[in-house]
Amino acid sequence: MALPPYASPLERLWHRVYLVICAAIFLFLIAPILIIIPLSFNAEPYFTFTDKMLSLDPAGFSLRWYRTLLTFGMINPDNPDTWAWWRDVWENAKWVQAAKNSIIIGFFSTLLATVLGTVAALGLSRPEMPWRRLIMAILISPMIVPIIIVATGLFFFYSMTGLAGSYLGIILAHATLGIPFVIITVTATLVGFDHSLTRAAASLGASPATTFFKVQMPLIMPGVISGALFAFVTSFDEVVVVLFVAAYDQQTIPRQMWNGIREQISPAILAVATILVVISILLLTTIELLRRRNERLRGIEA
Amino acid sequence: MSQVPADPHAAVVTTAGGVEDGPILTVDGQPLDEALARAGRRARWRAFLLVLPLLVFVLVTFITPIGQMLHRAIYNPTFSQNMPRISAWLKAHPDDPPTEEAYALLIEDLKEARKNKTIGAVATRINYDVPGTRSLFTSTARKARRLKPPFGEALLKANRKWGDPRVWTAMRQAAHAYTIDFLLNALDFTRDAGGDIVRVEPERQIYGKLFLRTLVLSLVITGLTLVLGFPIAHLLANLPLRYSNLLMIFVLLPFWTSLLVRTTSWIVLLQTNGVVNDILVWLGLIRDDQRLQMIFNQTGTVVAMTHILLPFMVLPLYSVMRTIDPSYVRAARSLGATSWTAFRRIYLPQTVPGIGAGALLVFILAVGYYITPALVGGSSGQLISNMIAFHMQKSLNWSLAAALASLLLGGVLILYWLYDRLVGIDNLKLG
């Protein structure tokens, strides 16, 4: 954003100030996320930089909190047998169990949300769809309605239907919360979709199923994948519904973090947070690559 | 041509046997408008059938639970189910003072409720309306077996509070399973001894204050996200795509990072021994014993929520600003406007749709926020959602929780409707 050549000295000065302000806001956005990464390698059980860390003394850093993630909840953390030690981790470590639960719930709710959401988005983007606006409003509303209201409603509903404390209940709830993201991303890729392509396929003798898989699917795939990623992240980060309807022993990563922050806050939380930040960087990269692919497919040049 | 199948898409049109004024027919002899209508109907059905599975799914897993919660806000059968005799009498005699018959029925009910172990729930139900009456029910129920007629005097002897007209008004209200009392409570209203709706005493008016605080804090957060979001959205929109895509990571990475991670980071940064206080001490701005309390109060809630909701402001602003043609501002400048005037009169009005979309979205999300205030809000930074959670999990007054949630839901739905009218749900974009 270059200044025009006719800018006055005052405008030049303001431009500098403006850039500094923008840099400060970007710092405000990103610093809180990056600050936890070095702190998670703290050798002391503190949430703040020690003198040793600031002087970059290796003694100030350690992997002890990452080790805690594995050993917390183990039966015998001092077992010398490597194989038995890892088996113990896999079967008993609290954070590992939470991760397993989160992944199982996230996987199935994403699958459900993506399949139902994609099919519905195909219908919604057809020009002849009746009551389009109302139905769209209903399907997007899980994103808008405060999560505490959803959780309260589900608590009453599940205790009546016996879904409380079951994996199915959480998966259904998380799928509902993920659906708006799938609808939004898939309908966005379908905007400007040329419907004569499907008609061309049909006129060449393709069945509706063939048309869908060979013509529509490749075009909307970037939207479907980014919608699925959004749905997965939504489930993977959701804690309120889990707190309200899950059984006591159904721990997930966010629930474990929630308990950790409220009760015995330790830098182990920061180690988990760091891992989650790394995961979100990977997801963001995937989304960005998908977006570029989508633009390339549709002939939009950056 | 007689073999042509009845394809409504058939575009071959012919007129009926050369008759000039007759209806236009398709090739298989049907009137064209009918065939078109049928084809349109079928296409609509096909589109609708694609959406139907998801619609049913959302109705079952989302709309039904919320409907049930709304129902719970006006329906509480605890008293009428567990104290059936006195409830029936109270309903039959809406204005009469309690008689000896009523006292006898009450004692019967108390005995039975004690036997069924439901007396605790009954006592809790009346205790919502008249605080301090829990033990009145439980202790009298314990003694009920030994009470002899005349029951009126026996009851008063067992506990003087049975003479309190407020207890009887509360029972009269609770005898009806359907009640608006919980909604009234959620708005800081109650019933006096005569059953009339009055405001609760000023020191007990907590929900009105809480709604007000939620509203004010949400407005503050919306304002802050606008102030912080506007400059960077403007910068991103005016940079070449190569650079703006790179800088966009600063907005999108927080957006993709777990909410709990971001909240944790703010605890780390803002706590008394945290990074921000350390830096302030190191810079000499404050002394070591003057460390600022920035977390577990309203400041914590506002700062953390502003950070978390900022991307929801930047993204809509950015997408509107991208489409603004820079030649308008240049034209204004060439006509002699100062850069400030050109910005204020030409650029700013064009960003209003983006400001509206971002502000509404941030405000809608802020009023219902739960996790961040619960973790960093302390007691002064709690919002209405936290009160709903409190009544669901701690005080177990589920009907009141449902009533508060219904009011919150009503407000959010109005804002959502407004958003759809002004912005359109179709324009909701992610990343």
Amino acid at A9: P
Residue B43 in domain: yes
What is the spatial distance between Cα B431 and Cα B429, in angstroms, rounded to a whole number? 6
Local structure of A42: helix, strand or coil:
strand
Range B154-171 average pLDDT: 86
Residue where a domain terminates, one of B204, B231, B264: B204
DSSP conformational letter for A214: I
pLDDT tens series, chain A, 302 aa: 667 777 888 889 999 999 999 999 999 999 999 988 988 888 888 777 877 888 888 888 888 889 888 888 888 888 888 888 888 889 888 899 999 999 999 999 999 999 999 999 989 988 888 888 899 999 999 999 999 999 999 999 999 998 988 999 999 999 999 999 999 999 988 887 788 888 899 899 999 889 888 888 888 888 899 899 999 999 999 999 999 999 888 899 999 999 988 876 778 889 999 999 999 999 888 888 887 877 777 665 44
Give the CA distances from residue B411 to residues A146, B404, B427, in Å, rounded to whole numbers and listed in that order.
Answer: 11, 11, 22
Residue B188 and residue B242 in one domain: no
> Min CA distance, A66 vs chain B (Å)?
16
Domain of residue B94: give its range: 78-204
Cβ atoms A268, A48 nearer than 8 A: no
CA distance B317 to B323: 10
Q: How confident is the model at residue B15 (pLDDT cuts 50, 70, 90)?
A: very low
Residues B174 and B234 in one domain: no
The pLDDT of residue A152 is 95
C-alpha distance from A11 to closest chain B C-alpha (Å): 8
How far CA A164 is from CA of A168, B58, B72, B161, B402, in Å, comes to 9, 18, 18, 40, 18
Residue A277, chain B, CB below 8 Å: the answer is yes
Task: Please indicate whether, in this complex, the C-beta atoms of A152 and B392 are within 8 angstroms of each other.
Answer: yes
Answer whether residue B241 is part of any domain: yes
Helix (H, G, I), strand (E, B) or coil at A153: helix
Q: B369-405 burial, b for 16+ CB within 10 Å, e for fewer? A: bbbbbbbbbbeebbbbbbbbbbbbeeeebbbbbbbbb
Q: Give chain A's domains with CATH numbers.
A: 99-297 (1.10.3720.10)
Chain B hits for A119, CB-CB cut-off 8 Å, are 50-51, 53-54
Domain CATH for B375: 1.10.3720.10
Percent of chain B with pLDDT strictly greater than 70 = 94
- Asked if A267 reaches chain B (Cβ–Cβ under 8 Å), the answer is no
Out of B239, B245, B430, closest to residue A184 by CB: B430
* HSE-CB of B344 using CA atoms within 13 angstroms: 5
Contacts of B269 in chain A (CB under 8 A): 31-32, 35
Q: Which residue has the tokens 């359907």?
A: B178
Residues B23 and B42 in one domain: yes
A201 close to A259: Cβ distance less than 8 angstroms: no
Radius of gyration of chain A (CA): 25
Q: Which residue of B44, B250, B389 is in closest CB contact with A130? A: B44
What average pLDDT is seen over chain B?
Answer: 88
The reply to whether B233 touches chain A by the CB within 8 Å rule is no
Enclosing H/E stretch for A301: none
B183 and B274 co-located in one domain: no
Where is the domain boundary, B204, B232, B248? Answer: B204
Flag whether pLDDT at B19 surpasses 70: no
In chain A, whose CA is at the least distance from the CA of B391? A152
Q: State the ipTM, two decimals.
A: 0.90
How far is it, in rounded angstroms, from Cα A158 to Cα B64? 11
pLDDT for the residue B288: 83
User: According to the model, what pLDDT value does residue A108 have?
Assistant: 97
How far is Cα B385 from Cα B411, in angstroms, rounded to an integer?
Answer: 13
pLDDT tens digits, one per residue of A226-237: 899 999 999 999
Q: Are residues B200 and B131 in the same domain?
A: yes
The reported pLDDT for the residue numbered A70 is: 87
Instruction: State whether A119 and B50 contact (CB < 8 Å).
Output: yes
Q: Is residue B153 located within the same domain as residue B61? A: no
- A185 closest CB neighbour out of B55, B65, B430: B430
Question: From CA A277, how far away is CA A259, in angstroms rounded?
Answer: 19
Same domain, B173 and B287: no
B251 inside 8 A of chain A by CB: yes
Q: Is B214 left (phi over 0), alpha (psi -120 to 50) or beta?
A: alpha
Q: Are residues B191 and B215 in the same domain?
A: no
Q: Provide the pLDDT confidence category of residue B362 given band limits of 50, 70 and 90.
A: very high
B258-262: average pLDDT: 92
Q: Is there a cis peptide before residue B311, judged by omega within 30 degrees of 0? A: no
What confidence score (pLDDT) does residue B410 get? 96
Torsions phi, psi for B190 (to 5 deg): -150, -175
- Please check whether residue B290 lies inside any domain of the structure: yes
Q: Is residue B411 in a domain? A: yes
A298 touches chain B (CB under 8 A): no
Residue B196 and residue B83 share a domain: yes
Q: Is B404 on the interface with A (CB under 8 A)?
A: no
Question: Per-residue confidence at B287, pLDDT binned at 50, 70, 90?
Answer: confident
Could you tell me the end-to-end alpha-carbon distance of chain B, in angstroms, rounded to an integer? 54
The DSSP code for A61 is B
Q: Is B1 part of any domain?
A: no
Predicted pLDDT at A1: 61
Q: Based on the domain organization, do B379 and B397 belong to the same domain? A: yes
State how far residue B103 is from chain A, nearest Cα, in angstroms: 35
Q: In this predicted structure, what is the pLDDT of residue B10?
A: 47
Q: Which member of B57, B232, B429 has the closest CB to residue A22?
A: B232
Cβ distance of A137 and B416 shorter than 8 Å:
yes
Is B191 a domain residue?
Answer: yes
More confident residue, A17 or B95: A17
Q: Is residue B3 part of a domain?
A: no
- Is A1 in the B-facing interface, judged by CB distances under 8 Å? yes
pLDDT tens string B67-91? 999 999 999 999 999 999 999 998 8
Query: Measured between CB atoms, does A124 come within 8 Å of chain B?
Result: yes
Choose the final residue of a domain: B177, B204, B231. Answer: B204
Question: Do the Cβ atoms of A158 and A164 come closer than 8 Å?
Answer: yes
Our count of domains for chain B comes to 3
Q: B144 or A231, which is more confident?
A: A231
Tell me: do B69 and B100 sit in the same domain: no
What pLDDT does residue B275 have? 86
- DSSP classification of residue A233: H
DSSP string, A79-99: -S-HHHHHHHHHHH-HHHHHH
B272 in contact with chain A, both atoms CB, cutoff 8 A: no
Q: Comparing B167 with B6, which gets the higher pLDDT?
A: B167
B193 and B302 belong to one structural domain: no
> Phi and psi for A164 in degrees, rounded to 5?
-60, 140
In a domain, B40, yes or no: yes
Over residues B130-146, mean pLDDT = 86
Using DSSP, state whether A300 is helix, strand or coil: coil
Query: Between β-strands B24-26 and B189-191, what pairing exists: parallel, antiparallel or unpaired?
Result: unpaired
Better-predicted residue by pLDDT, B428 or B246: B246
What is the C-alpha separation between A82 and A60, in angstroms, rounded?
27
Q: Report chain A's terminal Cα–Cα distance, integer Å.
A: 17
Instruction: Check whether B227 has a pLDDT greater than 50.
Output: yes
